[in-house]
Homo-oligomer: A and B are copies of this chain.
């Protein structure tokens, strides 16, 4: 039998920003928690959509044609191939759902890239 996953408890186990932690898998998809603060990098994912749900705080998804600001209990699906840049003025807790193997910085690379799977 699988174990249930308590999201708040999982959040208490890490502090690093922009460092998503996997909490569950469903088929070939993963659920990842992240704490974010500040600006991420412009990037896109050419092969997949990516879903963000804000669980605490506020984040902005910057797009080339405008911004979308998400508050608690708001969800946004970034379509595949669409450039976006996450931003949070204050620390924000998010849940990201996407296929296994998606790299956080997409096509852009750089020092914020996380190549290993980190579970929490």
Enumerate chain A interface residues (CB-CB to B < 8 A). 1-2, 4-8, 23-27, 29, 31, 48-51, 53, 55, 63, 65-66, 68-70, 73-80, 97-99
Contacts and interface: CB of A to CB of B under 8 A. Distances in A.
Contacts of A4: 68-70, 74-76
21 contacts: A1-B65, A1-B66, A2-B76, A2-B77, A2-B78, A4-B68, A4-B69, A4-B70, A5-B75, A6-B74, A7-B53, A23-B75, A25-B77, A26-B49, A26-B50, A27-B49, A27-B99, A29-B29, A29-B97, A55-B73, A97-B97
A36 B63 CA distance: 37
Contacts of A27: 48-49, 80, 99
A73 B23 CA distance: 13
Contacts of A7: 53, 73-75
Contacts of A65: 1
A50 B24 CA distance: 11
Given A1-B65, A4-B69, A26-B49, 20 more contacts: A2-B68, A4-B68, A4-B70, A4-B74, A5-B76, A6-B73, A7-B73, A7-B75, A8-B73, A23-B75, A24-B75, A25-B49, A25-B77, A26-B50, A26-B51, A26-B77, A26-B97, A31-B75, A55-B73, A97-B97
